[in-house]
Protein backbone atom coordinates (compact mmCIF):
# COMPACT_ATOMS: atom_id res chain seq x y z
CA UNK A 1 0.00 0.00 0.00
CA UNK A 2 1.17 3.52 -0.82
CA UNK A 3 2.73 4.98 2.39
CA UNK A 4 0.78 8.25 2.10
CA UNK A 5 -2.49 6.31 1.74
CA UNK A 6 -1.61 4.14 4.74
CA UNK A 7 -0.86 7.28 6.77
CA UNK A 8 -4.20 8.83 5.73
CA UNK A 9 -6.12 5.67 6.69
CA UNK A 10 -4.29 5.38 10.04
CA UNK A 11 -5.24 8.96 10.89
CA UNK A 12 -8.99 8.52 10.35
CA UNK A 13 -9.74 6.76 13.67
CA UNK A 14 -8.09 9.37 15.90
CA UNK A 15 -9.69 12.14 13.80
CA UNK A 16 -13.15 10.58 14.27
CA UNK A 17 -12.57 10.35 18.03
CA UNK A 18 -11.43 14.02 18.19
CA UNK A 19 -14.46 15.21 16.22
CA UNK A 20 -16.84 13.25 18.46
CA UNK A 21 -15.20 14.48 21.67
CA UNK A 22 -15.01 18.08 20.44
CA UNK A 23 -18.77 17.95 19.94
CA UNK A 24 -19.32 16.53 23.43
CA UNK A 25 -20.78 13.25 22.18
CA UNK A 26 -20.42 9.81 23.73
CA UNK A 27 -20.19 6.65 21.64
CA UNK A 28 -23.78 5.92 22.70
CA UNK A 29 -24.93 9.36 21.48
CA UNK A 30 -23.21 8.85 18.14
CA UNK A 31 -24.58 5.32 17.77
CA UNK A 32 -28.12 6.62 18.28
CA UNK A 33 -27.61 9.45 15.77
CA UNK A 34 -25.97 7.35 13.05
CA UNK A 35 -27.58 3.93 13.46
CA UNK A 36 -24.11 2.37 13.77
CA UNK A 37 -23.34 0.16 16.76
CA UNK A 38 -21.20 1.35 19.67
CA UNK A 39 -18.83 -1.54 18.97
CA UNK A 40 -18.40 -0.52 15.31
CA UNK A 41 -17.78 3.10 16.26
CA UNK A 42 -15.26 2.11 18.94
CA UNK A 43 -13.39 -0.15 16.51
CA UNK A 44 -13.34 2.62 13.87
CA UNK A 45 -11.90 5.13 16.34
CA UNK A 46 -9.25 2.71 17.60
CA UNK A 47 -8.21 1.74 14.07
CA UNK A 48 -9.29 -1.89 14.50
CA UNK A 49 -11.89 -1.52 11.75
CA UNK A 50 -11.13 -0.13 8.31
CA UNK A 51 -13.29 2.89 7.43
CA UNK A 52 -15.63 2.31 4.49
CA UNK A 53 -18.11 4.63 2.80
CA UNK A 54 -21.11 2.89 4.37
CA UNK A 55 -19.64 3.75 7.80
CA UNK A 56 -18.26 7.20 7.01
CA UNK A 57 -21.32 8.64 5.24
CA UNK A 58 -23.62 8.40 8.30
CA UNK A 59 -20.86 9.98 10.41
CA UNK A 60 -20.38 12.82 7.92
CA UNK A 61 -24.14 13.47 7.88
CA UNK A 62 -24.39 13.45 11.67
CA UNK A 63 -21.41 15.76 12.12
CA UNK A 64 -22.48 17.86 9.10
CA UNK A 65 -19.00 17.69 7.63
CA UNK A 66 -17.77 16.93 4.12
CA UNK A 67 -16.20 13.50 3.78
CA UNK A 68 -12.80 14.98 2.90
CA UNK A 69 -12.81 16.96 6.16
CA UNK A 70 -13.95 13.93 8.13
CA UNK A 71 -11.09 11.77 6.88
CA UNK A 72 -8.46 14.50 6.58
CA UNK A 73 -7.99 14.17 2.83
CA UNK A 74 -5.06 16.16 1.46
CA UNK A 75 -5.76 19.53 -0.14
CA UNK A 76 -6.40 19.37 -3.84
CA UNK A 77 -4.60 22.65 -4.55
CA UNK A 78 -7.93 24.29 -5.34
CA UNK A 79 -8.76 26.57 -2.39
CA UNK A 80 -12.46 26.54 -3.31
CA UNK A 81 -12.58 22.87 -2.32
CA UNK A 82 -11.49 23.69 1.23
CA UNK A 83 -13.20 26.93 2.21
CA UNK A 84 -12.64 27.54 5.89
CA UNK A 85 -14.62 30.42 7.36
CA UNK A 86 -13.30 32.11 10.46
CA UNK A 87 -14.65 34.76 12.78
CA UNK A 88 -12.72 37.95 13.31
CA UNK A 89 -12.97 40.70 15.90
CA UNK A 90 -10.77 43.32 14.29
CA UNK A 91 -9.42 46.42 16.00
CA UNK A 92 -12.37 48.33 14.57
CA UNK A 93 -14.86 46.57 16.88
CA UNK A 94 -16.81 45.23 13.90
CA UNK A 95 -17.11 41.41 14.09
CA UNK A 96 -17.22 39.52 10.83
CA UNK A 97 -16.98 36.09 9.24
CA UNK A 98 -14.30 35.79 6.58
CA UNK A 99 -14.17 33.02 3.96
CA UNK A 100 -10.80 33.13 2.15
CA UNK A 101 -11.17 32.35 -1.56
CA UNK A 102 -7.42 32.51 -2.26
CA UNK A 103 -4.39 31.61 -0.19
CA UNK A 104 -1.49 33.29 -1.94
CA UNK A 105 0.83 34.70 0.73
CA UNK A 106 1.94 38.24 -0.01
CA UNK A 107 -0.25 38.53 -3.11
CA UNK A 108 -3.72 39.79 -3.89
CA UNK A 109 -6.15 38.24 -1.40
CA UNK A 110 -9.79 37.51 -2.26
CA UNK A 111 -12.41 36.61 0.32
CA UNK A 112 -16.11 36.73 1.00
CA UNK A 113 -16.89 38.64 4.16
CA UNK A 114 -20.05 38.86 6.25
CA UNK A 115 -19.91 42.11 8.19
CA UNK A 116 -21.57 41.82 11.58
CA UNK A 117 -23.02 44.69 13.51
CA UNK A 118 -20.49 46.49 15.72
CA UNK A 119 -20.81 47.09 19.41
CA UNK A 120 -18.76 50.29 19.44
CA UNK A 121 -18.50 53.44 17.41
CA UNK A 122 -16.49 52.94 14.21
CA UNK A 123 -12.73 53.45 14.61
CA UNK A 124 -10.79 54.46 11.55
CA UNK A 125 -7.67 52.41 10.78
CA UNK A 126 -4.94 52.70 8.17
CA UNK A 127 -2.35 50.23 6.90
CA UNK A 128 -0.42 49.57 3.69
CA UNK A 129 -2.36 48.16 0.75
CA UNK A 130 -5.31 48.69 -1.54
CA UNK A 131 -8.90 47.45 -1.05
CA UNK A 132 -11.77 46.87 -3.42
CA UNK A 133 -15.13 45.38 -2.53
CA UNK A 134 -18.47 44.56 -4.11
CA UNK A 135 -21.62 44.56 -1.98
CA UNK A 136 -23.51 41.27 -2.31
CA UNK A 137 -26.29 41.95 0.20
CA UNK A 138 -27.30 44.42 2.87
CA UNK A 139 -26.18 48.02 3.23
CA UNK A 140 -22.55 48.95 3.85
CA UNK A 141 -21.37 52.14 5.49
CA UNK A 142 -17.90 53.20 4.32
CA UNK A 143 -15.94 55.91 6.12
CA UNK A 144 -12.88 57.30 4.30
CA UNK A 145 -11.21 59.91 6.46
CA UNK A 146 -13.93 62.62 6.73
CA UNK A 147 -16.15 61.24 3.91
CA UNK A 148 -19.02 58.76 4.27
CA UNK A 149 -20.70 56.58 1.63
CA UNK A 150 -23.67 54.21 1.87
CA UNK A 151 -23.47 51.27 -0.52
CA UNK A 152 -26.10 48.69 -1.47
CA UNK A 153 -26.12 45.43 -3.41
CA UNK A 154 -24.20 45.80 -6.67
CA UNK A 155 -22.23 48.85 -5.50
CA UNK A 156 -18.44 48.82 -5.37
CA UNK A 157 -15.79 50.72 -3.46
CA UNK A 158 -12.06 51.03 -4.03
CA UNK A 159 -9.53 52.85 -1.84
CA UNK A 160 -5.95 53.06 -0.65
CA UNK A 161 -5.89 51.51 2.83
CA UNK A 162 -3.21 53.98 3.94
CA UNK A 163 -6.12 56.46 4.08
CA UNK A 164 -7.94 56.21 7.45
CA UNK A 165 -11.01 54.03 6.83
CA UNK A 166 -13.73 51.88 8.34
CA UNK A 167 -16.56 49.86 6.82
CA UNK A 168 -19.37 47.86 8.28
CA UNK A 169 -23.10 47.34 8.03
CA UNK A 170 -25.26 50.45 7.84
CA UNK A 171 -27.73 49.71 10.58
CA UNK A 172 -28.51 46.69 12.72
CA UNK A 173 -28.40 44.01 9.99
CA UNK A 174 -25.28 42.24 8.66
CA UNK A 175 -24.00 42.92 5.15
CA UNK A 176 -22.09 40.65 2.79
CA UNK A 177 -19.26 41.67 0.48
CA UNK A 178 -16.77 40.17 -1.95
CA UNK A 179 -13.47 41.72 -0.85
CA UNK A 180 -10.15 42.01 -2.71
CA UNK A 181 -7.13 43.25 -0.79
CA UNK A 182 -3.67 43.91 -2.20
CA UNK A 183 -1.22 44.09 0.70
CA UNK A 184 1.41 45.81 -1.47
CA UNK A 185 -0.96 48.18 -3.22
CA UNK A 186 -2.00 45.64 -5.88
CA UNK A 187 -5.21 46.75 -7.57
CA UNK A 188 -7.82 45.01 -9.63
CA UNK A 189 -7.61 46.17 -13.23
CA UNK A 190 -10.72 46.47 -15.36
CA UNK A 191 -10.61 46.30 -19.13
CA UNK A 192 -13.29 47.03 -21.65
CA UNK A 193 -14.37 44.16 -23.88
CA UNK A 194 -16.43 46.24 -26.31
Exposure string of 50-64, with b = 16+ CB inside 10 Å and e = fewer, is ebeeebbeebbebbe
CATH number reported for the structural domain that contains residue 158 in this entry: 2.60.120.10
Residue 44 forms part of a structural domain: yes
Segment among 24-28, 66-70, 180-184 with least mean pLDDT: 66-70
Same domain as 113, residue 167: yes
Is 192 within a domain?
Answer: no
State residue 70's pLDDT score: 78
pLDDT higher than threshold 60 for residue 142? yes
Is residue 190 within 8 Å of 121, Cβ to Cβ? no
175 and 84 within one domain: yes
Do the domain assignments include residue 116?
A: yes
List the CATH number of the domain containing 20.
1.10.260.40
More confident residue, 87 or 178: 178
- Over 80: is that where the pLDDT of 48 sits? yes
In a domain, 189, yes or no: no
Query: Residue 135: is its pLDDT beyond 80?
Result: yes
Across residues 2-7, what is the average pLDDT? Answer: 79
140 within a domain of the structure (yes/no): yes
- pTM metric for this prediction: 0.55
| Residue 57 shares a structural domain with residue 134 | no
Strands (E), the chain: 86-88, 96-100, 109-115, 130-137, 140-144, 147-151, 156-160, 165-169, 175-182
Please tell me the predicted confidence (pLDDT) of residue 155: 95
Q: Is residue 187 part of a domain?
A: no
Distance, in Å, from the CA atom of 36 to the CA atom of 58, rounded to the nearest integer, reads 8
Choose the final residue of a domain: 22, 51, 71.
71
In this structure, the answer to whether residues 47 and 86 fall within a common structural domain is no
Domain boundary among 24, 42, 71: 71
The pLDDT assigned to 120 comes to: 64
For the residues 47-59, what does the mean pLDDT come to? 90
User: What's the pLDDT score for residue 62?
Assistant: 87
Q: Is the residue at 91 inside a domain?
A: yes
Same domain, yes or no: 138 and 169 = yes
Distance between CA atoms of 150 and 153, rounded to whole angstroms? 11
The SS3 of residue 133 is strand
End residue of a domain, out of 71, 100, 125 = 71
| Residue 80, pLDDT score | 46
Cα 77 to Cα 74: distance, rounded to the nearest angstrom = 9
pLDDT in tens, 151-192: 999 999 999 999 999 998 998 888 899 988 887 766 666 666
Range of weakest confidence among 5-9, 33-37, 154-158 = 5-9
Torsion of CA 57, 58, 61, 62, to 10 degrees: -150
Confidence grade of residue 81 (pLDDT, cut at 50, 70, 90) = very low
- Domain count of the chain? 2
Between the two ends of the chain, the Cα-to-Cα distance in Å is: 56
Whether residue 173 is found in the same domain as residue 93: yes
Residues 38 and 119 both lie in one domain: no
133 in the same domain as 90: yes
Domain residues for the domain of 54 are 3-71
Q: Are residues 178 and 87 in the same domain?
A: yes
Q: Which among 131, 125, 188, 187 is positioned nearest to 159, based on CA atoms?
A: 131
Amino acid sequence: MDPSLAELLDGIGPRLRRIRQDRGLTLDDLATATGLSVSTLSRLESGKRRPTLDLLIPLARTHRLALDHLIGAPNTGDPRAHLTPHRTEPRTGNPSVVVPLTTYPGRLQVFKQILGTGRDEPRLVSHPGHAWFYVLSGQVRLLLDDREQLLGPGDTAEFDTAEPHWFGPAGDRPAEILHLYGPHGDRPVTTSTS
